[in-house]
């Protein structure tokens, strides 16, 4: 027979002059009345309620794959655009001569080690808070966290600037040539405003990305890069500022990007539900942010510094000039390839953080698994790319036969490294989304410096592998890191992570004080 609609029963019985419902169960089931549905439910409707769970999981996984792909694809485009900016700067340095190219490259390397890696790592601390806060619909926490991160990065930039102001002394102390140190000092002095630009740019990018707003970021980056070439030409050749002009053009481009992002946020009204005016609350509640920012900074710096150490080790090999040059080519290559897994990790981190913040641990787990599947596809693609271009890639950078031979020999090893790097980078995104950067930092420290570095030194200097041995050490580091990350992911308690997300996005001290004040006023 027909079944009773629960909502109809409750509504009509309550509206019957306040009288309680006196209809018996047998009366409802056996006799048609005004409360019963006259048209029975179709079999297809009942079948849809009893769908195969596997089909449901497949639909969820496909939907998650689409969400991750939408975020990651935009981040890939943004990464390629920003990569092209650095390449354009290097081309203009090359046109200024060998000394300018060497000094500029030295300054960029020094800036990466002492400045950009630190700011990038500290900014990563806001990613789990913002991602989980957005999922929990605690939108004001996003704006407050971004304000705190900007303050943290600006304060850190003050300390970084002391290193940059004394860079020539540091380089001379390390044995660099006087002319090269002077050129590097000129470049980095005019790059000082970039610390302010980066202190704004990193939080803005994370603020938008954790809300899955990535396409406007790509468009803003494209506009800024289009302006980068004429800005370089104006400062370097028209105003004849030389190496100083290259540095200023990079700063100008970054400020253009910051300005475009701020304009988008204001015009699109993205800030309305997340922003609150600056107050003393910005200076409170830093503990949660620092607990995530410092381990994130350590993790990023450990990975960035590895490549700088590799360049130093190349200078101690049998053929240092060819080894250092080839290492530079290969690092540029790995930086290009790294754009893809890092963009995937950003997408996975955002989705995992959003779902944990929303209290959906199962969906967060699915996002992690889907991202891991994507990472293996990227890893095998990178391997195929490295093997296929090994005989022609070096010709794009040099005509020196020794450099070409070394690059051709090592490119397949780099491809194998990416088989480990892509999954481990993706799992790093999962760790950021679950607010566990300290675990990622410990894994990077152990795998890169306690496994990879000893293997690289032993193979490169004692086992006779020379330049190839350094990259085999990298392979050992990436392989061990991937296995450790996979073990951590397999043993993740997702329900526990959802509970941690709830605690992380709970009221911070400033909001608790406001709530207590309101309660006090109500009692009065």
Domain span including residue 89: 74-284
351 and 227 both lie in a single domain: no
45: phi then psi, degrees, rounded to nearest 5:
-65, -40
- Residue at 502 is within a domain: no
172 and 315 both lie in a single domain: no
Query: Which residue carries 């040099």 as its tokens?
Result: 398
pTM of the shown model: 0.81
pLDDT at 223: 95
- Residue at 84 is within a domain: yes
* 22: three-class secondary structure by DSSP: coil
Q: Is 53 exposed, middle or buried (0-12, 13-18, 19+ CB in 10 A)?
A: exposed
263 and 296 both lie in a single domain: no
Number of domains in the chain: 3
Do the Cβ atoms of 69 and 348 come closer than 8 Å?
Answer: no
Q: How far is CA 458 from CA 123, 327, 470, in A?
A: 36, 18, 9
From 190, 179, 181, 312, select the one nearest 246 (Cα to Cα): 190
- What whole-number distance in Å separates Cα of residue 497 and Cα of residue 320? 48
- What whole-number distance in Å separates Cα of residue 322 and Cα of residue 475? 21
pLDDT at 284: 74
Rg (CA), the chain: 28
pLDDT at 379: 95
- Residue at 55 is within a domain: no
- Residue at 374 is within a domain: yes
Q: How far is CA 431 from the centre of its chain?
A: 11
Q: What is the pLDDT of residues 480-508, one digit of tens each?
A: 999 999 999 999 999 999 999 998 887 55
118 and 182 both lie in a single domain: yes
169 and 248 both lie in a single domain: yes
Which regions in the chain score pLDDT beneath 70?
1-55, 281, 507-524
Q: How far is CA 190 from the centre of its chain?
A: 27
CA atoms within 13 A on the CB side of 369: 16
Q: What is the pLDDT of residues 436-465, one digit of tens each?
A: 988 988 998 999 999 999 999 999 999 989
331 and 273 both lie in a single domain: no
């Amino acid at each position: 027979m027909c079944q009773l609609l629960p909502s109809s029963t409750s509504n009509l019985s309550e509206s019957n002059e306040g009288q309680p419902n006196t209809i018996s169960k047998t009366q409802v089931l056996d006799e048609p009345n005004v409360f019963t549905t006259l048209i029975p439910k179709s079999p297809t409707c009942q079948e849809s309620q009893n769908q195969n769970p596997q089909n449901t999981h497949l639909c969820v996984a496909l939907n998650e794959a689409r969400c991750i792909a939408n975020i990651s694809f935009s981040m890939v485009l943004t990464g390629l655009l920003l990569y092209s900016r650095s390449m354009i700067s290097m081309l203009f340095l090359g046109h200024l001569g060998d000394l300018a190219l060497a000094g500029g490259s030295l300054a960029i390397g020094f800036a990466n080690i002492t400045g950009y890696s630190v700011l990038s790592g500290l900014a990563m601390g806001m990613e789990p808070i913002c991602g989980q806060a957005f999922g929990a619909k605690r939108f004001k926490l996003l704006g407050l966290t971004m304000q705190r991160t900007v303050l943290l990065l600006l304060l850190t930039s003050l300390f970084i600037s002391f290193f940059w102001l004394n860079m020539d002394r540091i380089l001379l102390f390390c044995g660099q040539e006087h002319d090269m140190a002077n050129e590097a000092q000129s470049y980095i002095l005019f790059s000082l405003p970039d610390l302010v630009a980066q202190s704004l740019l990193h939080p803005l990018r994370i603020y938008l990305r954790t809300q899955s707003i990535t396409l406007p970021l790509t468009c803003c980056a494209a506009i800024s890069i289009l302006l980068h070439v004429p800005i370089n030409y104006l400062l370097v050749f028209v105003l004849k500022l030389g190496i100083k002009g290259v540095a200023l053009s990079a700063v100008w481009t970054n400020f253009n990007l910051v300005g475009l992002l701020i304009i988008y946020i204001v015009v699109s009204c993205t800030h309305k539900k997340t922003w609150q005016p600056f107050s003393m609350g910005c200076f409170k509640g830093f503990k949660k942010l620092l607990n995530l920012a410092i381990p994130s900074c350590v993790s990023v710096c450990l990975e960035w510094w590895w490549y700088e150490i590799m360049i130093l080790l190349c200078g101690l090999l049998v053929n240092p000039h060819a080894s250092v040059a080839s290492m530079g080519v290969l690092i540029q290559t790995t930086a290009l390839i790294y754009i893809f897994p890092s963009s995937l990790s950003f997408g996975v981190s955002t989705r995992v953080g959003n779902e944990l913040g929303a209290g959906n641990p199962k969906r967060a787990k699915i996002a992690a698994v889907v991202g891991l599947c994507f990472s293996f596809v990227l890893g095998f693609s990178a391997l195929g790319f490295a093997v296929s271009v090994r005989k022609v890639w070096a010709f794009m950078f040099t005509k020196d036969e020794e450099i070409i031979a070394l690059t051709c020999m090592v490119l397949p090893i780099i491809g194998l490294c990416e088989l480990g790097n892509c999954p481990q980078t993706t799992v790093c995104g999962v760790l950021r989304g679950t607010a566990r950067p300290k675990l990622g930092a410990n894994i990077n420290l152990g795998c890169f410096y306690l496994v990879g570095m000893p293997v690289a030194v032993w193979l490169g200097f004692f086992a006779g592998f020379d330049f190839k041995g350094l990259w085999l050490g990298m392979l050992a580091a990436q392989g061990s890191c991937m296995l450790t990350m996979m073990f951590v992911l397999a043993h993740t308690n997702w329900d526990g992570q959802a509970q941690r997300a709830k605690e992380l996005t709970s009221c911070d001290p400033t909001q608790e004080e406001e709530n207590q004040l309101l309660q006090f006023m109500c009692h009065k």
